[in-house]
């Protein structure tokens, strides 16, 4: 979800609920301890604030690179010869 610069990245209600369930499952299976909704939500909030911006910025950088590749090739893909009737 797009955010203003400096804002914490947010998730939809459904994505947040699924993330909390996934975090709870991760802790149960890999950390040998269960966590409740509150702790899972705190972990999610931490990752959204601390780590998600790096992932988001990487995705934006990747998208910019793809767009720049397309723009560089724009003349080759979209160029039309002018005044070609009399050739």
In a domain, 39, yes or no: yes
Q: Which domain holds residue 54?
A: 13-78
Given a contact cutoff of 8 angstroms between Cβ atoms, the answer to whether 35 and 23 are in contact is yes
In a domain, 20, yes or no: yes
In a domain, 2, yes or no: no
pLDDT at 1: 46
For residue 2, is pLDDT > 60?
A: no
In a domain, 35, yes or no: yes
pLDDT at 55: 95
In a domain, 85, yes or no: no
Q: How far apart are CA 42 and CA 34, in angstroms?
A: 14
In a domain, 21, yes or no: yes
pLDDT at 76: 78
Task: Read off the pLDDT of residues 29-78 as tens digits, 9 standing for 90 and up.
Answer: 999 889 999 999 999 999 999 999 999 999 999 999 999 988 887 777 78
DSSP character at residue 8: P
In a domain, 26, yes or no: yes
In a domain, 68, yes or no: yes
pLDDT top residue among 86 and 6: 86
CA–CA–CA angle 68, 74, 75 (5° rounding): 135
What pTM did the predictor assign?
0.72
What is the tally of structural domains in the chain?
A: 1
pLDDT at 4: 67
């Amino acid at each position: 979800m797009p955010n203003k610069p400096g804002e914490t990245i947010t998730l939809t209600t459904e994505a947040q609920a699924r993330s909390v369930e996934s975090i709870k499952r991760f802790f149960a299976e890999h950390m040998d301890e269960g966590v409740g909704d509150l702790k899972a939500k705190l972990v999610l909030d931490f990752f959204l604030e601390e780590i998600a911006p790096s992932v988001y910025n990487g995705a934006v950088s990747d998208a910019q690179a793809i767009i720049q590749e397309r723009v560089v090739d724009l003349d080759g893909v979209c160029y039309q010869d002018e005044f070609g009737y009399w050739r």
